[in-house]
Structure 1
Amino acid sequence: MSKPVVPPDETPMRNRYDRMEWAGAFGDLGTLIPFVAAYIGVLKMDPFGILFAFGAAMLVCGLYYRTPFPVQPMKAIGAVAALQAAQTAVVTPGAVYSAALVTGAIWLLLGMNGIVSRVTRLVPPTVVTGIVFGLGFGFMLEGVRMMQHDWLIAVIGGVGTLLLMGNRKIPAMFVLLTFGIAVGAMQNPALLTTLTQQGASLHVPTFALADLSWNQFFVGAVLLALPQIPLTLGNAVIAIREENNRLFPQRQVTERGISISTGLMNLFSASVGGVPMCHGAGGMAGHIAFGARTGGAPVILGCVLLILAFFFSGSVDLLFRLFPAPVLGVILFLTGMQLALGSSVLPAERNGRLVVLLTAALCMWNVGAGFVAGIALHHAQQRGWLRM
């Protein structure tokens, strides 16, 4: 049974910048805001470099791919960096730049010599489906956790958004963002007052690697970059290729191209003081869930982030803190739902479905572990060792 794709009249030949693309542009905020806020608030990183790197990468990807091709923070690196910095202060901004540098070099090398394509060809379809399925449910679970901060706000925002999903006259994301800002203003009036008093000031890029130490490089490479590789391969190479090519068959992408893109944008991010980035499949699901159908969405979000970077970097932390966690949880939950729906066609054979479900369950905990275990389960099933 074939999987559904975006209807032919929606297949992008050129970018659009209509209100649905604008609405879809903000469909990935549930992932972007928490990680960027953690880098700024916990590690005390300069907001300019982070926003500049994200904005430039999104702009280029939108213009090049011409689909809602996402740019996201690398989740494992972000989580480890924030946790270690909060507990032991081992991780510094320099270590994060090093992680981006090492990550960029690894994926550029794997893409240019074609190794990434040979590796991904060894991954069976049941494992690919399980990865995407697990990512979808993982996003939904994380969304529920964020909504627990205030169920009333979550229910109002979630129900209202669901009723407007697919409405091309009143984009759901605009209503949800307006609701979130209103709630944040009522809950934190002092924060809103401080935010409105912040003025614009010009910031310019600087070279972030000039004062990098060997200790920072070692921490960034060993503690942050290397453990991320299996997760990136599963989520940001295999899963995003599957999602893009399923939804946009006229705009096919390859593992080699995605790997090179990941490498280049991370080398750039390291040089300007940004953080490790990837093309996570959940990002595309988020853009599409709220109306995006072309590369106009990442171009729009990229331009917004560039404006924030150059003129309002000093206010970004306050702006992100204004958004209530339950509203971000609604965005994340609906993103996961969109992603899981796209991978809901299971194999006809019972043991094949078992591999998909076990892989998905592990990917909800750790994509890298789910990826490795899924391949092992597939081979066990092929040899008749796994039966149910």
Structure 2
Amino acid sequence: MGPAFLSELARRNRYNLRTLRRSPAAEISGALGDLGTLLPLMIALALQGSIDLTSTLIFSGLFNIATGVVFGIPLPVQPMKAIAAAALANHLPLRVTTAAGALVSFAVLLLSATGLLRLLARLIPVPIIKGIQLGAGLRLITSGAALILPLPWLAPPPLDSRLAALLLFLLLLLTQRAARFPYALLAFLLGIAVAEEDDDDDGSAAAPAVPSATALGLSVAAMNLLACWSGAMPVCHGAGGLAAQHRFGARSGASVVLLGLAKVLLGIWGSGVREGLGWGLLRSHAGGQEGLIEFLRRFPSGVLGVMVIAAGLELAKVGAGLNSGAADLWEESVAEGEGEGVGRVRRRRCREVGVREQQERWMVMMVTAAGILAFKNDAVGFLAGCCCHAAYRVADWAERRQAEGRWGLVGERLPLLR
């Protein structure tokens, strides 16, 4: 850790504090933004014994704090959804679930350390990446709807009903331009009130830069390799959580630091820890963990469902910028500088995309998203997008060969449909 790193770390945390002081409600609301995707998976895995809940809360909370301090942006710590889905479908025991997380993290560590992850990030076409994000966003929307559909239109408690979910969704739409409105904080407090009721019955500075693919890969590997031995849930930095936290107001690492502190305190409160916070203690008494799970289960599904839908909408919006401002459309240009003594300067500009290229990029993105939705598998969507992209590149190659006169198609040259 050199002086430059420490200086940058100090700058990022000054930004965190400045942002928190300027808009505390928005940062707290943003911190709660990804609970809609975290709570259902975490509770379901804990109920069937695939993870240890208190270890998950404490370690993921510590990782939230670390990422907020180091990166200075609202970078989420979320379940690895592919592993979570497999564990739920096959009722995997704790040791198998955590071993899967460790193996994936070891592979990510190798890719990050060798630079292959950075190479893959450059090679994968942007329309495929945006298609994965679009598909993930639409899947989140369907997951949120699945939480709401089983509910009655109106039943006690009143917040856990379709009518309440509809009203919360209308409030979400009305506040979508008010980025600092603490929507998630309001929804969370209402949900906690219902859970408690059931229990009684029963900065002006510039934001830090987005971390590189290598930094994110090393972070994911470190988190899981450190925590897997304790039975904690395999985690990653999910795009859905980032979209949710940003949608609900988070703009700095302070939001995830606050969330991390809350997770750690909740984990300790529900753990029945015997003594001291040493490395071998993070295993809860059965009664403490079951009570914590029961409390979290009472959180109203209608509130969670609307929060998941909001996260999905925010993530799906990335598709709108596919042909205007996407990362692969920016190119450097050289222009004459203004004023005396100013030579040629390099500038970045976004190139214009032709109609045919726009359609092709849109099709690749949609094929990727459709594969994810149809097969409920990101890998299938990724492969479908790759095949679509490759088909267009083969067509480009064939057209170039034909234009060069090396070979051509005999017969009609005009398209049948225009």
Q: TM-score range by the shorter chain?
A: 0.7 to 0.9
Q: 1:177 aligns with which of 163, 184, 188?
A: 188
CA distance in 2, matches of 1:169, 1:293: 10
| Residue 299, structure 1, aligned to residue 257, structure 2 | yes
Residue 121 of structure 2 is matched in structure 1 by 120
> Partner amino acid for 2:245?
H
Tell which deviates more after alignment, 286-295 or 166-175. 166-175
CA distance in 2, matches of 1:64, 1:58: 10
> Partner amino acid for 1:319?
F
| Residue 27, structure 1, aligned to residue 33, structure 2 | yes
Q: Deviations over 1:198-244 (max 9, x none)?
A: xxxxxxxxxxxxxxxxxxxxxxxxxxxxxxxxxxxxxxxxxxxxxxx
Task: Describe the shift of the 1:168–1:289 C-alpha distance in structure 2 as closer, same or farther (beyond 3 A).
Answer: closer
Q: 1:285 aligns with which of 232, 243, 259?
A: 243
Residue 321 of structure 1 is matched in structure 2 by 297
Q: Deviations over 1:34-76 (max 9, x none)?
A: 1110121112643221111211111111111111111100111
Q: Deviations over 1:238-271 (max 9, x none)?
A: xxxxxxxxxx985132111111111000101213
> Partner amino acid for 1:141?
T
Note if contact 1:181-1:323 (Cα within 8 Å) is conserved in structure 2: yes
Q: 2:86 aligns with which of 80, 83, 87?
A: 80
SS of alignment partner, residue 293 of structure 1: coil
Q: Deviations over 1:12-41 (max 9, x none)?
A: 971133121111000001111011101211
SS of alignment partner, residue 305 of structure 1: helix
CA distance in 2, matches of 1:261, 1:132: 21
Task: Describe the shift of the 1:382–1:44 C-alpha distance in structure 2 as closer, same or farther (beyond 3 A).
Answer: closer
Tell which deviates more after alignment, 332-341 or 154-163. 154-163
| Residue 376, structure 1, aligned to residue 352, structure 2 | no
SS of alignment partner, residue 309 of structure 1: helix
Q: Please, which runs of 5 or more residues in structure 2 have no aligned partner?
A: 1-11, 152-161, 272-287, 324-354, 399-414
Shift of 1:145: 1.6
Note if contact 1:40-1:46 (Cα within 8 Å) is conserved in structure 2: yes
State the Cα RMSD in Å. 2.5
CA distance in 2, matches of 1:369, 1:170: 38
Residue 38 of structure 1 is matched in structure 2 by 44
CA distance in 2, matches of 1:266, 1:45: 13
> Partner amino acid for 1:341?
K
TM-score, normalised via structure 2 length: 0.71
Note if contact 2:180-2:248 (Cα within 8 Å) is conserved in structure 1: no
Shift of 1:147: 1.7
Q: 1:351 aligns with which of 350, 357, 360?
A: 360
Q: Equivalences for 1:180-195 in 2 at 5 Å?
A: 180-184=191-195, 189=198, 191-193=199-201
Q: Deviations over 1:64-100 (max 9, x none)?
A: 1111111100111112112211xxxxx2111122122
CA distance in 2, matches of 1:300, 1:165: 23
Task: Describe the shift of the 1:266–1:45 C-alpha distance in structure 2 as closer, same or farther (beyond 3 A).
Answer: closer
CA distance in 2, matches of 1:361, 1:281: 18
CA distance in 1, matches of 2:55, 2:201: 26
Residue 277 of structure 2 is matched in structure 1 by none
Residue 262 of structure 1 is matched in structure 2 by 220
Residue 129 of structure 1 is matched in structure 2 by 130
> Partner amino acid for 1:74?
M
Task: Describe the shift of the 1:142–1:249 C-alpha distance in structure 2 as closer, same or farther (beyond 3 A).
Answer: same
> Partner amino acid for 1:336?
G
Shift of 1:115: 1.3
Residue 158 of structure 1 is matched in structure 2 by 169
CA distance in 2, matches of 1:324, 1:351: 43
Task: Describe the shift of the 1:193–1:250 C-alpha distance in structure 2 as closer, same or farther (beyond 3 A).
Answer: same
Shift of 1:168: 7.2
Shift of 1:316: 2.2
CA distance in 2, matches of 1:111, 1:138: 28
Q: Deviations over 1:348-370 (max 9, x none)?
A: 52122111111111223221211
CA distance in 1, matches of 2:119, 2:14: 30
- Whose relative contact order is higher, 1 or 2, with alpha carbons under 8 Å and at least 6 apart? 1
| Residue 101, structure 1, aligned to residue 102, structure 2 | yes
Note if contact 1:50-1:273 (Cα within 8 Å) is conserved in structure 2: yes
Residue 58 of structure 2 is matched in structure 1 by 52
Residue 197 of structure 1 is matched in structure 2 by none
Which structure has the highest helix share of the two? 1
Note if contact 2:15-2:207 (Cα within 8 Å) is conserved in structure 1: no
> Partner amino acid for 1:46?
D
CA distance in 2, matches of 1:115, 1:346: 25
Task: Describe the shift of the 1:114–1:249 C-alpha distance in structure 2 as closer, same or farther (beyond 3 A).
Answer: farther
Task: Describe the shift of the 1:262–1:382 C-alpha distance in structure 2 as closer, same or farther (beyond 3 A).
Answer: same
> Partner amino acid for 1:131?
I
Aligned residues: 317
Task: Describe the shift of the 1:113–1:44 C-alpha distance in structure 2 as closer, same or farther (beyond 3 A).
Answer: closer
Percent identity between the two aligned chains: 30
> Partner amino acid for 1:122?
L
| Residue 140, structure 1, aligned to residue 141, structure 2 | yes
CA distance in 2, matches of 1:266, 1:66: 21
Note if contact 1:133-1:344 (Cα within 8 Å) is conserved in structure 2: no
Residue 344 of structure 2 is matched in structure 1 by none
TM-score, normalised via structure 1 length: 0.76
SS of alignment partner, residue 123 of structure 2: coil
Shift of 1:105: 1.4
